[in-house]
Amino acid sequence: MKKSYARFTRRKFIQKGASGVAGVLAAGTLPGSAPAGSETPASWQVPGSGFSNYGQPRNARGSPIRWISADRSVAGAGVSWTPLHDLEGIITPNGLHFERHHNGVPDIDPDTWKLTIYGQVDKPLVFDLNALHRYPMTSKIAFIECGGNSNSLWHSNPSQAPAGYVHGLVSCSEWTGVPLSLLLEEAGLKPDALWLVADGLDAAGVTVSIPIKKVMDDTLVALYQNGEPVRPENGYPARLLVPGWEGIVNVKWLHSFQLSDRPLMSRFDTVSYTDLLKDGKAERFTFEMGIKSLITSPSPGQSLSEPGFHELRGLAWTGNGLVARVEVSADGGKTWNEATLQEPVLDKALTRFRAPWHWDGTKAILKSRAYDSLGQVQPEREVLLGNKGSNVYYHYNAIISWSVDSDGSIHHIYA
C-alpha cells in the first residue's frame, strides 16, 4: 500500500521534473527573455542536486576532520581529536566528537543488548533496549573531556599541532537518556551500596568505580547524542554521562552496574587515570575536570592575513559548574580584558567566549584565563607544574599561550 503510493508519487515527480528541464532549455529562445549573463550566479541557472537520507559535510577534503593517533600494534587503541580550531559555537557535530578507545569500537546488536544491575540492591534488574527507551528521559548539554586531554603540555616542548589536535579530547553534546537514579531506585539501593562499578562491552574490559553520590545526583544513561541515537564510537546503544567528570567514567557500550560497598580498584581506577605527583605519590579518583580555556581562533596553523580587526574566539569549561568569567590578553599576560561569554552559558558545558582585537602587526602573545562559579581560576603553567611536577599525565588545565609573529603566523609557546 505504502509502496505503491511512493511509486506513484515518484513517477509524478519525474514527469514534472522532465517538463521543468525542457522549460529551462527552451527559455533562451523565448522572445523577451534575457540571456543568462556572466554575473548571474551559476546555481540560478541549473537545478541543484537531489535529496539525501543522511546529510554529509560538503566534501571530505577541506571539511573539519578528527585527527587520529592510534597504537601501531593495536589499531583500536588510541584517540581521535575534535578539530576545535575549525569549529564554532558550543555543540560538537556527532561525527567530530572525540574518541578514546582502548581496543576498538564494538559492534553491538540492539536486539540482544541488555543492561544488568546487581550487587548491593534489593532486587537485581535487567533492562533491554526497548524497555529503557520507555523510561522518562531528560537532556543535558554537557562536555565530556578525556582525563588525558592536552597531556603533551606536561612535556617541555610546546606542540605546534593545530589547537584541536592537542586540546580536542573534549567535545560537547546534548545527551538525552534515562537518569540512572531512576533505575537504581527501582532496584532499591542497600545501605552499603556506596560505589557503582560500571563496565562496557568493549574488548578492553573497561571497568570503573563511581561514588554513588554522583551517580544519584546527575548521572545519565544516555541513549541519544544531539538528537540521534548515540554514535557507535560514542557508546551505542547506551553510555554513561557523568557530567563534568573525566571521560573514562563516562563508560561507553554499557554492559552492567554492580553496586558495591567499595571501589573495585580496577586497572582503570588505579594504574591508569591516576595523577603521579612530583613526590612520587599518586592520586586516584581525581574525577572532576578543572577550569580551563583556550583561544581556538586564531590558533597555531592559522595565520592573520593583515593587521586590523580580528575577533578572538575560544572555549572555556569547568567540571564543577559554570564558567563565570574569561579574560584575554594580547601582551602575554601583562594586561587582561574581559571577554564576552556567549549565551547560553550552561552548567558543565562548553562556553564560547569572544573578544574584539585590533592587531597592530607587531609580535603579540595571546592568552585566555577562565574563572568558574566557585572562584577557581585557571593556573599559569609554571604554577601547575610547580605544584604537581611534570609526570601527572592527566588533568592538564594551565593557561595556553599563542605567539603571533609580525608575518601573522601563530605558534604555541610556553609564556
- Residues in 215-274 at the binding interface with another protein, rule: CB under 8 A: 216, 256, 258, 260, 262, 264-267, 270-271, 274
The only residue of 137, 284, 320, 346 in contact with another protein, by rule CB under 8 A: 284
Binding mask 384-403 for another protein (x = CB under 8 A): ------xx------------
The only residue of 137, 194, 365, 413 in contact with another protein, by rule CB under 8 A: 194
Q: Where are the alpha helices (DSSP H) in 137-270?
A: 164-167, 180-187, 212-218, 267-270
312-371: contacts with another protein (CB under 8 A): none
* CB closer to another protein out of 26 and 271: 271
Q: Are 397 and 292 in contact (CB under 8 A)?
A: yes
* CB closer to another protein out of 188 and 229: 188
Among 15-23, 86-94, 117-125, 313-321, the segment contacting another protein (CB under 8 A): 117-125
Compute the distance between CA of residue 141 and CA of residue 145 in angstroms, rounded to an integer.
13
* CB closer to another protein out of 285 and 402: 285
Q: Are 247 and 239 in contact (CB under 8 A)?
A: no
Q: Are 216 and 184 in contact (CB under 8 A)?
A: yes
126-185: contacts with another protein (CB under 8 A): 126-128, 131-132, 134-136, 182-183, 185
* CB closer to another protein out of 262 and 363: 262
Tell me how far, at minimum, the Cβ of 256 lies from another protein, in Å: 6
Compute the distance between CA of residue 28 and CA of residue 34 in angstroms, rounded to an integer.
7
| Strand residue runs (E) in 1-111 | 67-70, 78-81, 99-101
Cell of 193: 551500596
* CB closer to another protein out of 134 and 358: 134
Compute the distance between CA of residue 184 and CA of residue 181 in angstroms, rounded to an integer.
5
Answer yes or no whether residue 186 interacts with another protein by CB under 8 A: yes
* CB closer to another protein out of 5 and 309: 5
41-100: contacts with another protein (CB under 8 A): 50-53, 71-74, 76-77
* CB closer to another protein out of 286 and 376: 286
Tell me how far, at minimum, the Cβ of 287 lies from another protein, in Å: 6
DSSP-assigned beta bridge partners for residue 257: 117, 198
Answer yes or no whether residue 203 interacts with another protein by CB under 8 A: yes
Cell of 106: 564494538
Tell me how far, at minimum, the Cβ of 217 lies from another protein, in Å: 9
Compute the distance between CA of residue 248 and CA of residue 238 in angstroms, rounded to an integer.
15
In the chain, the largest separation of any two C-alpha atoms, in whole Å, equals 89
Compute the distance between CA of residue 215 and CA of residue 180 in angstroms, rounded to an integer.
7
Q: Are 226 and 174 in contact (CB under 8 A)?
A: yes
